[in-house]
Amino acid sequence: AGFGLYRYFKYQVNLALNYDYKIKNFKVLEYNNDNLKVSLEYEITNNSSFQILVKEYDLKLLYKNKNFADTKNNVPFIIFPNKSFKFSTEAVINLKESGSSLLPLIQDIFNNKPINIEATGFVKVKFLGINNTINFDNDSFQYSSNLLKDIGLSNQVEKFKQKNPSFAKYFE
């Protein structure tokens, strides 16, 4: 019985760490010569039977080992079990630091390639009544398999590429 209980909880932990998400909205909030402040809205699905309390996070996001955004939050929120919810966050993109990573990012987005992001920082959570800090040290994850499709712009970009082949070749 003890082994069965252990396997069940291990299975639930794996489900909790294997959540699904969709990008629902992206907005530019502010812009100046140094920074671009953006808002992202996600729909996240918790596949486990347990709720997760996210207490705070502080993350640096990198693309091909170049820092392009920082995001942090210290307002706790709950991810309910077997449910989807919308979650908004803000990020600050340092234009000077991210300049060298923007062209490869734009090329990969324009060519419908997967967008793999690295994260450095921490997320503090409470799961099954246990406080835990998840540390990231250039941990890589797939942000999107096709970002243009996720945000509903793939058809428009394909039409643009067909109408402007001389411009489109710069992103190949």
Q: Copy the structure tokens of residue 53.
A: 């309390």
Q: Is the pLDDT of residue 92 over 70?
A: yes
pLDDT at 160: 80
Q: Is the pLDDT of residue 145 over 60?
A: yes
pLDDT at 60: 84
pLDDT, tens digit, for every residue of 24-75?
677 778 887 777 787 877 777 777 777 888 899 888 878 888 777 778 889 8
Name the pLDDT band for 170 (thresholds 50, 70, 90): low
- As a whole number, mean pLDDT of residues 144-150 equals 78
- Mean pLDDT of the chain, nearest integer: 75
Nearest to 26 by CA among 42, 44, 39, 13: 39
Cα–Cα separations (whole angstroms), residue 134 to 54, 69, 93, 100, 120: 11, 19, 23, 29, 10
DSSP-derived secondary structure letter, 50: S
